Amino acid sequence: MFSLRTLIAATDLTPRSAAILPRAAQLARDHGARLILAHALDTAAARGKRLRLKSRIDMPAMAEARLAALAAAYPDLPISLHIEDGKPEAVIIRLAEQHDADLIVLGLHKPRRVLETLRMTQMEHITQSAACPVLIAHTPSERPYRKILGAITFAPASAAALHVADCLAPEAELHAIHALQLPLSAKLPAVDLMASPEMTEAEMLRRAFLDLDVTPKRLIAPEIVPGGVHEVLQFRIAELDPDLIVIGSQSGRSTTRLGNYTRDLMRAPPKDMLIAKPE
């Protein structure tokens, strides 16, 4: 079962990371967890950008000073600082393994050129490779989450993600929605959707999902809404206005790879976003 004892806040020290430490600090404070504020220098990338030699030499000192300044804003929290040279995905995954991290908090990824979108982002590499859940902090806030929406598939990864969210924000409303994608034959005007085989199967899966040990018992019964995942989720977000979106990580073909929809949502998260893997 999930419990938050150690979390890593991974910052690239740009405005994209502004929401990371406020959220990580709130979670560390509320759960009495150890907080590690980490930054990967990636001097090899700096050489590729042809930075002056003096700038590259000063990088560790400048990064340490900036991390210390960020941590100083939270004098009530014992924040450990970690600076390491290397690619961010490798540094953060290694750090999480060394400290048996329960959660990694990341910020938004940088905009990418069209051809680069075919490759996985650093955020996606970390999320796919890390053993622990990943939280993408979108909006700077130290207020505990109040309303959570899970985009679920009735798979174990969805139950695991909701369980983590339930532990992180035990006072929040916990909602979930399942987008029921229908064949063309089920969309004909004469078809009674509620009596269709697709809806019957979805309702059976919902009952089994609610019976899973890891599914939070206080979860409001998941809605089953016909339509594509994107449109259903966008509609429910506009209606519910959650401050955290929860989703499982796996693709339909592999439990070790990110699903395409998860990757799409991570690249432009509408709210803070929690991604968890099957337990």
Q: Looking up tokens 């806040």, which residue turns up?
A: 9
Same domain, 126 and 191: no
Same domain, 152 and 273: yes
The closest of 161, 278, 180 to 233, measured between CA atoms, is 180
Domain count, the chain: 2
Domain boundary among 78, 110, 142: 142
The CATH number given to whatever domain includes residue 182 is 3.40.50.620
Same domain, 104 and 2: yes
Same domain, 128 and 66: yes
Same domain, 132 and 150: no
Rg (CA), the chain: 20
Same domain, 18 and 133: yes
Give the range of the structural domain holding residue 158, as residue numbers without chain letter.
144-279
HSE-up of residue 94 (Cα within 13 Å, Cβ side): 12
pLDDT one digit per residue (tens) for the chain, 279 residues? 899 999 999 999 988 899 999 999 999 999 999 999 999 987 765 544 554 544 555 778 888 999 999 999 999 999 999 999 999 999 999 999 999 999 999 998 665 444 444 456 788 889 888 999 999 998 888 999 999 999 998 988 889 899 999 999 999 999 999 998 876 665 556 556 677 788 899 999 999 999 999 999 999 999 999 888 888 888 899 999 999 999 876 544 555 566 666 777 777 788 999 998 776
* Single-letter amino acid, residue 76: D
Give the span between the Cα atoms of 279 and 271, in whole angstroms.
Answer: 24
CA–CA–CA angle 118, 121, 125 (5° rounding): 115
Same domain, 114 and 178: no
Same domain, 168 and 200: yes
> What are the structure tokens assigned to 111, written together?
């905009």
Q: Looking up tokens 């990967």, which residue turns up?
A: 40
What are the DSSP E strand ranges found in the chain?
6-10, 34-40, 79-84, 103-106, 134-136, 147-151, 173-180, 223-226, 244-248, 272-276
* Single-letter amino acid, residue 88: P
